[in-house]
């Protein structure tokens, strides 16, 4: 009888461990970001009026300037996955990931 009770106890412990393990692993795997968060986890301090709309629910958000005076942007979407890259504005008002083509105020 004692062996049977130990078997049930082991099954219960293994199930609890499995649930804990799955919860622990999946806790950092959020796919959809919230409106107030960017992919990097930074808080958005820029008003929505300054966001540049690229597509339906895809925006470029100005985040600051580099030491060279280049304005840089990050992408944001509340419903879609977007690349976590930095964009720069060019002299012809287009956007690029190439910093050498960026419009900088030196």
User: In this model, does residue 61 exceed pLDDT 50?
Assistant: yes
pTM for the model stands at: 0.54
Higher pLDDT, 35 or 95: 95
pLDDT (0 to 100) of residue 4 = 52
Instruction: Provide the mean pLDDT of the chain.
Output: 76
User: In this model, does residue 97 exceed pLDDT 60?
Assistant: yes
Q: Which residues pair with 9 in a beta bridge?
A: none
pLDDT (0 to 100) of residue 106 = 64
Query: Of the candidates 64, 69, 78, which has an alpha carbon nearest to the alpha carbon of residue 33?
Result: 78
Residues 6+ positions from 95 with CB-CB distance below 8 Å: 60, 73, 87, 88, 89
3-class DSSP state of 58: strand
- What is the C-alpha separation between 56 and 69, in angstroms, rounded? 30
pLDDT (0 to 100) of residue 38 = 38
- What is the C-alpha separation between 38 and 46, in angstroms, rounded? 12
């Amino acid at each position: 009888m004692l062996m049977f009770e130990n078997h049930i106890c082991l099954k219960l412990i293994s199930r609890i461990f499995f649930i804990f393990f799955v919860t622990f692993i999946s806790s950092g795997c959020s796919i959809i970001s919230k409106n107030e968060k960017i992919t990097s986890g930074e808080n958005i301090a820029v008003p929505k009026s300054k966001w540049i709309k690229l597509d339906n629910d895809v925006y470029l958000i100005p985040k600051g300037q580099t030491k060279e005076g280049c304005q840089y942007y990050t992408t944001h979407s509340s419903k879609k996955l977007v690349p976590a890259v930095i964009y720069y504005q060019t002299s012809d008002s287009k956007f690029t990931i190439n910093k050498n083509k960026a419009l900088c105020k030196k």
